[in-house]
A = this chain, B = another copy of it.
Amino acid sequence: MSINASDLLEKVRAQKPVIHHLTNWVTIYDCANIVKVFGASPVMAHAKEEVADMASIASALVLNIGTLTPDFVDAMKLAAIAANRKDIPVILDVCGAGATKLRDDACFEILDSVKVNIIKGNASEIARIAGENVQTKGVDAAAVEKDLREVAASLAKRRSCTVVITGKEDIVADESRVVRVKNGHTMMADIVGTGCMASSVIGTFAAVEKDLVSASVAGLVCFEIAAEIAARDAKGPGTFKESLYDSVYSLDSETINRMQRIED
């Protein structure tokens, strides 16, 4: 599959889309700032009284249940309805799915009541949403990989959406395709926030590209190449994180084209 990540990055920088978030209180700054350093315009708003208005001036909507409450889920649905009406992409980060009944219920309630265009999570979160019993610990990587590709593809078909599973390699699937992104660095798992930021980045690219597999793959490729660059001189997770913002900001087409590792 031919995905031009560098072209999409240029589109983000040229169009500066507004990305509306209802996200968690832990990584809310990081989600906003990663969108900003990619050249887009983040906005965070969660009051039921304004989410529809805000979604209607945005080019993508990112929902993240990381510190959800029932009220917050209601606001997410109102925002998503406005996004659906305007036909802008809705990304749902099923952060913590599987950990509590509230999180599982919230995910299904959102997925059943509004159109979610991209579902994103790690292996165990997506497995839970897919209703499948995938063993994501204690098995070898190859076996997990195979299972997860099927899980992603199957969930994508059932929900008629794009599914992104992040991990050592990322899986992006829609109803007809499965693509893997092999960029990234282990240090991404040593800090809080890279998973949430990945969803914001995917939302940012989905704002400028209608093909959501291409958008998701391009966003992940750019974010993870930046992480690889940031990790080179980082002395640890603190300096890595600050450098990550620098390297996203400085990312150029030549670097992306040379470093990207996308596989069918």
Cβ of A25 within 8 Å of any chain B Cβ, yes or no, is yes
A15-56 residues with Cβ-Cβ distance < 8 A to B are: 24-30, 32-33, 36-37, 42-47, 49-50, 53-54
Query: What 0/1 readout, one digit per residue, does chain A (52-67) give for beta carbons within 8 Å of chain B?
Result: 0110010000000011
Report chain B residues within 8 Å CB of A245.
Answer: 191, 236-238, 241
Complex A-B: 21 CB contacts under 8 Å: A26-B44, A29-B29, A32-B192, A36-B190, A36-B191, A36-B237, A37-B237, A37-B238, A45-B67, A46-B67, A47-B68, A47-B69, A190-B249, A236-B246, A236-B249, A236-B250, A237-B246, A237-B249, A238-B244, A239-B243, A239-B246
This protein's copies in its complex: 3
Q: Mark A229-247, 1 if CB is under 8 A from B, else 0.
A: 0000011111101111111
* A193: Cβ under 8 A from any B Cβ: yes
User: Given A191-B36, A238-B245, A239-B246: A27 and B25 within 8 A (CB)?
Assistant: no
On chain B, the residues within 8 Å of A120 by CB distance are: none
> What's the nearest-Cβ distance from chain B to residue A109, in Å?
12
4 smallest CB-CB distances across A and B, nearest first, come from A236-B246, A238-B245, A238-B242, A50-B102
